[in-house]
Amino acid sequence: MFRPTVVMVDVRSEQVGATVVSGAETVILGPFNLLNRPTKTFTLYNAGALTLSGAVVQVNPDPHGMELGVMQGTPGPAVQIGPNPVLWQTYDSASFSQLGAGQVRSITANDLFRWWRIIGLHQGPNTSIAVSGWVNAATI
């Protein structure tokens, strides 16, 4: 007797944005715990009128921490504990380089790091750029 195999796919989609200020690193997207979702697509949209110097996809192997918005510490005051900040490392620094006004770019990553984020870098003089970011991650 034939029994079909049912494959359950766990998909996670997040959309976040930020204003990237010149001369400062700005978190555009994340950090997100995507360890159990090996297939990930990251997309950035430059909603500003100027070219964004770049954005860097970073990973963090820290096995500890919780995502922002997830509270830990009951009873008593809740404390948000993210991944160890000294463990962030560059995964991709080229794909979102020189993201022009109105441009949209995506990259796909198939690696198993726990924590993922995108940092915006802008070198323009005293300017800021609005950037939207999306991640779609799945278990297949």
The pLDDT of residue 70 is 46
CATH architecture of 13-63+83-138: Sandwich (2.60)
Mean pLDDT across 128-135? 95
Mean pLDDT across 60-82? 68
The pLDDT of residue 113 is 93
Q: What is the pLDDT of residues 90-107, one digit of tens each?
A: 999 999 999 999 999 999
Q: What is the pLDDT of residues 115-126, one digit of tens each?
A: 999 999 988 788
The contacts found for 95-100 with CB under 8 angstroms, 24 or more apart, are: 95/57, 96/44, 96/52, 96/54, 96/55, 96/56, 96/57, 97/53, 97/54, 98/51, 98/52, 98/53, 98/54, 99/44, 99/46, 99/51, 99/52, 99/54, 99/55, 99/131, 100/46, 100/51, 100/52
